[in-house]
Amino acid sequence: MTVPVGESSIRWEEESSIEFIELGEVITPSRQEQVDFVASLVPADGGDSFAIVDLACGAGALSEAVLRRFPASRALLLDGSSAMLERAVHQLSAYAGRTEFAHFDLRARDWLGRLPPDLRCFVSSLAIHHLDAVEKQALYTDLVTVLPSGGGLFIVDLVEPVNDRVWSAYGDLWDAVVQQQSLEYTGASASYERFREGWNHYRDPDLEFDQPSGLFEQLGWLASAGLSQVDCFWLRAGHAIYGGYK
């Protein structure tokens, strides 16, 4: 079910949605490992019944990993892109009855009033870096405020390198990983060539649109927001998995 909830002020273009749907698996380092790993961090036992909320879900890969791991779980998938939501509905059709889909704006807060009553976790992949530092801090505070005790917040995202050397190192490694994944997953380098046309933030930063914050400072914001066990759990080529438990 897709529920439009009004105008969105997202600056993400539908053209990017279509391209990310096509390329996401190849251009994200260790994509399957990432989503399965996030699912393994969710504070739940195998048969627990609970809900997660996937912020800027895209085609739903992260929710899918959680739904697969926890057969009694449900997911509310939120995104600002119609193309992404349509793709997510299709992608998660095997989980019909355990999923809900809605338009939302990551910068708005109306959706905080429509969360599932048995919310256990917020998850988000490759989207929060579109917010600036102040917006991220406000988002973390608002998410942790409504998160029940014992719940979790887990983010997969690009992070700001600590210096120029690390910028280059992240950029080089991301290139190398995508070159290898392009060949391994598709048997050709065409996806890698498309990735080279502006998707590597550490080579071609678009700092108005992509505003990753430093990992260390984000861990501080999450702790200040009220998470008690906060850490970075995984990192490769500037893509980090971080968050914590309340």
Ligand X SMILES: C[S@@+](CC[C@H](N)C(=O)[O-])C[C@H]1O[C@@H](n2cnc3c(N)ncnc32)[C@H](O)[C@@H]1O
Which of 107/223 has CB closer to ligand X?
A: 107
* 24 counts as binding ligand X under rule CB under 6 A: yes
| Contact call for residue 140 and ligand X (CB under 6 A) | no
Binding segment (CB under 6 A) for ligand X, from list 10-18, 42-50, 170-178, 229-237: 10-18
Residue given tokens 């050709």 in the structure block: 188
Burial track 202-224 (b if 16+ CB lie within 10 A, e otherwise): bbebeeeeebbbebeebbebbbe
State which residue, 2 or 223, has the beta carbon closest to ligand X: 2
Of 92, 106, 144, 215, the one binding ligand X (CB under 6 A) is 106
Cα radius of gyration (the chain): 17
Q: Is 56 exposed, middle or buried (0-12, 13-18, 19+ CB in 10 A)?
A: buried
Q: Is 107 in the site for ligand X (CB under 6 A)?
A: yes
**Cβ closer to ligand X: 58 or 161?**
58
Residue type (1 letter), 160: E
Q: Which stretch binds ligand X (CB under 6 A): 5-13, 178-186, 191-199, 205-213?
A: 5-13
Give, as ranges, the residues between 66 and 85 that touch ligand X (CB under 6 A).
79-81, 84
* Residue 61 is a binding residue for ligand X (CB under 6 A): yes
Beta carbon nearer to ligand X, 107 or 196: 107
Closest approach, Cβ 64 to ligand X, in A, equals 10
Told to check if 99 binds ligand X by CB under 6 A, we report no
Interface of this chain with ligand X, residues 190 to 219, rule: CB under 6 A: none
Residue nearest to ligand X as judged by C-beta position: 58
Tell the burial category of 6 from Cβ atoms under 10 Å away from its Cβ (0-12, 13-18, 19+).
exposed
Sequential DSSP letters for 26-67: HHSTTHHHHHHHHHHHSS--TT---EEEEET-TTSHHHHHHH
Among 56, 143, 177, 227, binds ligand X (CB under 6 A): 56
Cβ distance to ligand X smaller for residue 142 or 162: 142
Those residues with Cβ within 8 angstroms of residue 167's Cβ, 6 or more apart along the chain or in another chain = 161, 202
Q: With binding defined as CB under 6 A, does residue 92 bind ligand X?
A: no
* Residues in contact with ligand X, shown as a per-residue x/- string from 109 to 138 under the rule CB under 6 A: ----------------xxx--x--------
Query: From residue 8, how far is each of 34, 77, 79 by CA, in Å?
Result: 28, 16, 10
Q: Extract the tokens encoding 68.
A: 């697969």
The CA–CA distances, whole Å, from 116 to 9, 13, 51, 146 equal 24, 29, 7, 11
Binding site for ligand X (CB under 6 A): 8, 10, 12, 17, 20, 24, 56-59, 61-62, 79-81, 84, 104-107, 125-127, 130
